[in-house]
Amino acid sequence: VDKVCQLSGKEYGQDRETDRAIRVVAEHGRGIPFLIADGVVPGNEGRGYVLRRLIRRAIRFGRKLGLEGPFLGEVAQASIERFGGYYRELQEQREFILRVVDMEEERFQQTFRRGSEMLEGIIQSSLKTASANGKGSIAGSEAFVLYDTYGFPPELTQEIAREHGLEVDMEGFQRELEAQRQRAREAHAFKGG
């Protein structure tokens, strides 16, 4: 928490939203080095996907604190220093842990920036529609485009939408995802000819 406050220039205990963002970055920044030291690397399945989600969520909440450049490695470093005496694997794998965190953070920076800009437009449009008909949601097809075209994770779309009082049509998202998979299978079968 102290490291996140130092990096962001924010004080803990001043307001609820800032405190929540600080806690999310601190907790995720603490857990990430342990996962990597345990042999987990960011991926698209299983434990690797959990790690990737933690990194991405920490980045998102870091942005809410005004942290624009890479910062997660410094939070991970603080965790390694704090717990490395008790958990030797953190010290032994320090360089690998920091390299993995830096690579994943750098990779997601651009995705987050582009996806956030697109999502903001979708949210504004959905809020206008919501005030006209009383309910607010983001179409599954829009969430799918964010995911498929920009690599923006659907769970992040849901979280951000919820903060604006909107729901995401996840059934529609799943239909779009399955249709995309079907098209990929058909294209693959055709090429196998």
Instruction: Write down the number of H helices and E strands in the chain.
Output: 9, 2
Residue 40 is predicted with a pLDDT of 95
pTM of the model: 0.76
Which tens digit of pLDDT belongs to each residue from 114-172? 888 899 999 988 888 766 556 788 999 999 999 888 888 898 899 899 888 899 999 99
Looking at residue 182, its pLDDT comes to 86
Using pLDDT thresholds of 50, 70 and 90, give the confidence band for residue 52: very high
Higher model confidence: residue 31 or residue 187? Answer: 31
Res 109: pLDDT: 82
Give the CA diameter of the chain.
Answer: 64
pLDDT value of residue 153: 86
Q: Which of 78, 58, 73 is nearest to 1 (CA)?
A: 78
* Contact predicate 28/56, CB 8 Å: no
CA 121 to chain centre: 19
Q: What is the pLDDT of residue 180?
A: 87
Contact 12, 59 (CB under 8 A): no
What's the CA angle centered on 36, arms 30 and 37, to 5 degrees?
90
- Greater pLDDT, 118 or 187: 118
Which pair of tokens denotes residue 18? 């800032």
- pLDDT tens, residue by residue, 8-37: 999 999 899 999 999 999 999 999 999 999
Which SS3 state, helix, strand or coil, does residue 98 take? helix
Taking only the tens place, the pLDDT of each residue in 65-113 is: 999 889 999 999 999 999 999 999 999 999 999 999 999 998 888 788 8
